[in-house]
Amino acid sequence: MEFNYTPKHASWLNIAEIEINVMDIMCTKRRFGSKNLLISEIEAFYGYKNEKKSKIAWKLTKEVADEKLSKHYV
């Protein structure tokens, strides 16, 4: 298992939150008897997701996001 730095920009944070929520719902929303069991369950979950080539379908374009968020830019 590998952990990667996630920037604090909103879109990256949203992706991380979505992934953690999906993993929790489908995989880790229970107690595990050992660390090794938890790791093997997470690896199996991401193996399944990678096999299915799961993706997030973004509906917000950069242009629309820039327009909506422009009031927050300095």
Total number of domains constituting the chain: 1
pLDDT at residue number 31: 92
pLDDT at residue number 42: 92
Residue 4 lies in a domain: no
Residue 5 lies in a domain: no
Residue 44 lies in a domain: yes
Residue 64 lies in a domain: yes
Domain assignment of residue 21, given as a range: 10-72
Residue 1 lies in a domain: no
pLDDT at residue number 5: 66
CA 43, CA 72: separation in Å to the nearest integer?
Answer: 39
**14-58: pLDDT as tens digits:** 777 888 898 899 889 899 999 999 999 999 998 998 998 877 777
* Residue 1 scores a pLDDT above 80: no
Residue 3 lies in a domain: no
Residue 2 lies in a domain: no
Farthest CA pair distance, the chain: 50
CA 46, CA 52: separation in Å to the nearest integer?
Answer: 10
Residue 68 lies in a domain: yes
pLDDT at residue number 10: 67
